[in-house]
Structures are given as structure tokens and as C-alpha cells.
Amino acid sequence: MPWLAWLLPCIDPAPGVPPDAQGWWALRFTPCVTLLDEALLLEVDSVERLWGGRAALQALLRNQAPAAAQENAADQAWATGPTALQALALLRLQRMGRSPPQRLPHDLPIATLTALRPHVAALQHLGCRSWGDLRALPRAGLARRFGAACLLALDQAWGDAPHGLIWITLPERFALELELPALVESAPALLMAGQRLLDALQGWLRARQQGVLALELAWRHDLRRIDGVMLPPTQALQVRTAQATHDLAHLRRLLAENLAPGRHTLFLARCSEGEAGISGFGGLLLDDGAQLLPPARASERRIEVIGDSISAGAMNDGPLGLSYYTIEDGLTAFGPVLAQKLGAEWSIVAKSGEGVVHNYTESWEKREQGKALHTEDTYPQTFCTQAKPQWNPAKFPPQCILLAIGTNDFVEQPKKPAAEAFIAGYERLLRLVRGMNPEAVLIAMDPIPINLGTEPGQWIQQAVAHQQCAQ
């Protein structure tokens, strides 16, 4: 099996970072590396003996892969196959939690081949559920109905036709720019935003089997003045190492140390949801001569989001397969992103799996017996894990509240709550939120994702209309 497929940690790289950068690190092991859909593909048949055999090479690749693939699920992020498309198909089976079929490639599902995905329903109607089923049908008829490209892709996947791939090439000089998604006002935030650039640099260095002796991080200012002080249009930081290195942690530490002197803004944000437990802040340890400045004036704009895992930022920070909270990032959820764009303070009241009248994986018997807690029950609490203390809305009076709740009520199809129960539950939640925030504008959002259909959104509209009439 000469092909290895690796699930990319990030399918859409940051603006300014070329997609190929996600595969630079692999060029150290083979010159034949390409990006195909959501995977990085490596042709290793001609080089595996140079690395001590296939098992040794795969172990090296797992160890050298970017950190996003290392934690908890590195072994699950790889697949092998005799062709590029077979390796990709087997990787997709892994993501679906399915074992490889006994007959390869005959019994691979139709949906694992990209070219066939638009025609899955039609092919299944014809009785085709696997590559072998499709290959057994008359080719002329298939070409007329589904196009010659589908047959060509099937032949390429089988290994009967050449597959022209675009190989990744390494630039001679490393120089990348990154457009930040929001205003950055602190050194830690700048380093966090530049992590993508450091990842690309590490891959470039490893591919060349070289290290860095000097590194320059430069940034441009959109603002020209802050607190009455004029800012230069650009600033830069240079760091040097005693010896060549491609150790990402070492480079990041050097940048952080050199960014340390001067005036900085400390931004504290809880990135996990309430279900993960209660966080505490123990204060700051100041260097000699350092002092705390008065806190910055808070924005007069305040936004609150009431929701579930989507609002909490679940699985925003890595590929599927890693532990749930490892890849949760509340700062990249839609609420904080929207608030930062509007220059507003924000509050996120979100817990994974929670619904209006039915939580994800909750037994219907438990709900019917009144033993389950939902958003209506936990919203008045300061902490979702304990009833006391009760939350005082005066501590954070939002001007706008987004209700992004209801998805989990409908995800366990075909079972779903009755229309009357859901509408009544949503109305109770609206009354509760309105009672605690009488001056706020309430915005009720349709449940996400859209494949739930239109019914949940229609029920929410009815609940909003009933509540408006009651007022």
C-alpha cells in the first residue's frame, strides 16, 4: 500500500497562509505530497525503505505531524491504501467510525469517493451502494447518466487509470502574512493569532531539515492613536537563538519574553463552558518594578448569548476525533466573534447538549418525570452546576440577547417533542429571560444546523408571536 492519508487539522487555513503550508512538514519524508479534499496524501512506496520500512515510516510521520493531530487520536487520523483515492476513502470510513470492508476496494461505500457524492441518492436508487456495484454496471449507460468524470474517478481509485495530482512544492524563502480576524490589543493575543505562522514555519524548517537562527515578527497597526499616544504604522520584533532550532515551543517562548516589556492589556476569558466546572482566578505575580494600571473602561455595548454546544464553541479548535473539551474554543464561537466586531462586551450562557424541553441523550422518561434540567432551569443560576447563588442581572445588563437554543430538542430523530410542549417551553424561557432583562432586545434564532428542517424554526416563531401578544 504505497499511499498514506492524513486528516488535515484545518481544512481552511488562515488568510495569507497558503493551503500547501499544511503539508510542508511531510516533504521531509517524501517528495510526493498533495492535498486532496480534507486530507494530506503521501506517496511512500519509493521511499519507505529509506526510513526502515513502512511501520517505521508511519511511526515517524505520527511523531512529526503537527501538534493538532498528536493528542489522543493520532492513530485514528491515518489511513493507508494502494491508491490515493482508496486511502482517502478508508480515512473517511474511520471518521464515520466504521471498519474497513473485507473486500477492497469492491465494498467501499459510494459516498467515500468524492466524484460520486452528488449522485449517491440516484445510485442507491439503482441498487448501487458500493464501488463494486457501480463497476459492475454497463459503462456506456453510466457515462451518459452521470458523466465520464465519475467513471474516470472510479478507474483512478481502482488503479486502472493514471491520476494526475498537483504536488506540493516548498518555497525557497519563508515569508508569510496573516490577516487578523479582529483587533488585537495584547501581546498574548498577538502570539495566539501568529500561531498559524509559527506552525507553517516549523513545517518549512522540517522539510528543509534546517533550523532558524533569527526570526522577525512584524505587525501593522490599523489604529493610529490609543489613549492619546500616537502609534507607528508598523512594529517588529526580532529574536535570535544560540543555535539553529525548529522547536516551536522554544521560538514561542522567546517571542513572549521579548514582547513582555512595556504596557500590556490583560484579557481574561473562560474558553470552556459551565459544564466543565467552576474556574477561579488567583491573581497576578508582578515582576520587580511592574505595576497594575487602572482597568480599561468597559464598552457600553453588551451582548449575551443563550445556547448549547454551538454557542459554547464546541469542536472549533481541531479535527474531529480529539477529546471534546480539548477542541472547544469559546472565543471562536459566533457570539464572541460578533461582539468583538461590534466592540461589545459579551456573556455566554451555554452548555453542550442542553435544549428547551429535551436535552441530547436525555431519556424521555426522565424529562416526563420532571427530573431533567434545561435552559429554563439553569439560566437564573450563577453556575449551571449548582442552584446557588442566583444570578444578579444587574452585574451584566445586556442590551441584546441572542437565544440560540432548540437544536438538541430535534437531533434524536425520529423522536421529537410535541409542538405544544416545545412552543410552551420556549414561551416560558422567553418570559424568564424578559423578566430578568426587561430592557434588553431579544433575538430568537432558528436552530442550527439547517438540516433539521423548517419545523423547529416555525415553532419558535409561534412561541415568539404568542409572547408578543401576551405582552
Cβ atoms 467, 431 nearer than 8 A: yes
Record the pTM: 0.49
- Which part of the chain has CATH 3.40.50.1110? 302-470
Residue 218 Rama label (left phi>0; alpha psi -120 to 50; beta):
beta
The vertex-379 CA angle with 374 and 385, nearest 5°, equals 70
Mean pLDDT of the chain: 80
Calculate the alpha carbon distances from 67 to 37, 195, 198, 243 in Å: 21, 12, 12, 23
Query: Which tens digit of pLDDT belongs to each residue from 216-273?
Result: 878 776 665 555 566 677 777 777 777 777 676 777 777 776 665 566 667 777 655 6
Q: Which is more confident, 414 or 316?
A: 316
Q: What percent of the chain has pLDDT over 90?
A: 17
Query: Residue 285: which pLDDT band, with cuts at 50, 70 and 90?
Result: confident
Q: Which is more confident, 450 or 205?
A: 205
Strands 225-226 and 229-230: antiparallel
Query: Which tens digit of pLDDT belongs to each residue from 361-407?
Result: 777 666 566 567 888 888 999 887 778 889 999 999 999 999 999 88
- The SS3 of residue 346 is strand
Alpha-carbon span 152 to 130, nearest angstrom = 16
Class of domain 302-470: alpha beta
Handedness of CA 32, 33, 34, 37 (dihedral sign): positive
